[in-house]
Amino acid sequence: MVQNERASRHEHVLNVARQMMTAARTAPKGKGVDVIEIALVTGEDLKKLSGKMIDMSQELDMKFFLRDADNILQAECVVIIGTREQAQGLNCGHCGYSTCSGRPDGVPCALNTVDVGIAIGSACATAADLRVDTRVMFSAGLAAQRLEWLSGCNSVYAIPVSASSKNPFFDRKPKEEKKEE
């Protein structure tokens, strides 16, 4: 049997993405409390994510969302990682407030924020070890958050994954809005 790499690439990238999700899950957590949620976006949902990013570009007046929306469509899949809000009760002050109870609603617990960052780093390190291309995207994560794909998460980041001859997430050019005539 002869298997051409091109024929098996998509399934391989999906398997790498699943390993990235495992790496994120098993990454160290502050105080040992797991508040991380992780999902894999594929197929038609990539188009839905890209479309949401295009809409948000106009709403937020952030033109880089257009470039990133195009980039999402060049990925085989996207791993999304987020954190649920849960104060850890340490009164550590890392969030800027001296006590957890003094922290206003909407201000994230610093430990939760660090936990999602460590999970993202672990996922990207796994991707690098397996020689696939990734990029951490705030824009796609915010779009996934607005689509409510990670229930209860208020801090979501996206990692598009690709295995092609040229990394589509490098040397990216700004994309302009299509002007109506």
CATH superfamily for 9-162 is NADH Oxidase (3.40.109.10)
Residue 147: name the closest of 68, 38, 45, 17 by CA: 45
Average pLDDT, whole number, for the chain?
Answer: 93
Q: Where are the chain's structural domains?
A: 9-162
Work out the pLDDT band at 126, boundaries 50, 70, 90: very high
- Proportion of the chain above pLDDT 90, given as a percent: 84
User: How far is Cα 7 from Cα 9, in angstroms, rounded to an integer?
Assistant: 6
Work out the pLDDT band at 171, boundaries 50, 70, 90: confident
Q: In one letter, which amino acid is 132?
A: V
> According to DSSP H, which parts of 61-178 are helical?
64-72, 110-129, 138-146
Residue 49: name the closest of 15, 83, 74 by CA: 74
Angle at 40 between CA 28 and CA 21, to 5 degrees: 20
What's the pLDDT at 121? 98
What's the pLDDT at 34? 94
In 21-150, which ranges are E strands?
A: 36-41, 77-84, 133-134
Does residue 69 contact residue 54 with C-beta atoms inside 8 Å?
Answer: yes
User: How far is Cα 77 from Cα 144, in angstroms, rounded to an integer?
Assistant: 13
Q: What is the pLDDT of residues 11-48, one digit of tens each?
A: 999 999 999 999 999 999 988 999 999 999 999 999 99
Q: What is the pTM of this model?
A: 0.91
pLDDT at 177 exceeding the cut of 70: no
User: How far is Cα 148 from Cα 108, in angstroms, rounded to an integer?
Assistant: 18
Does residue 96 contact residue 85 with C-beta atoms inside 8 Å?
Answer: no
Work out the pLDDT band at 178, boundaries 50, 70, 90: low
